[in-house]
Amino acid sequence: MPKYVIEREIPGAGNLSDDELGAISRKSNEVLSGMPDVQWVQSYVTDDKIFCVYLAPDADAIRKHADQGGFPANAVREVSRTIDPTTGGR
């Protein structure tokens, strides 16, 4: 299944409380319960953005999740390759 990175512009995201982030997570999970072909992998919170990693059949499914959850999806990018420290060999 394709992997996507979603950029969500949320001013002050880095200052959101645990309760606020929990509410966002619960809403996302609620929407995902009706979308069995979409999986949330992980999210990274920065000062003014949240970057999310999802598995989904296509970008439209990601946008549908965002619309239903009331989240921004300012950029949806399909991951074409993954590299890590082992990619360069020894």
pLDDT of residue 89: 78
pLDDT of 26-54, one tens digit each? 999 999 999 999 999 999 999 999 999 99
Res. 90 pLDDT band, cuts 50 70 90: low
Phi, psi of 74 (to 5 degrees): -65, -30
**Distances from the Cα of 28 to the Cαs of 25, 50, 80, 87, in angstroms?**
5, 13, 25, 33
| Single pTM value for the model | 0.91
User: Architecture of domain 3-83 in CATH?
Assistant: 2-Layer Sandwich (3.30)
pLDDT of residue 88: 84
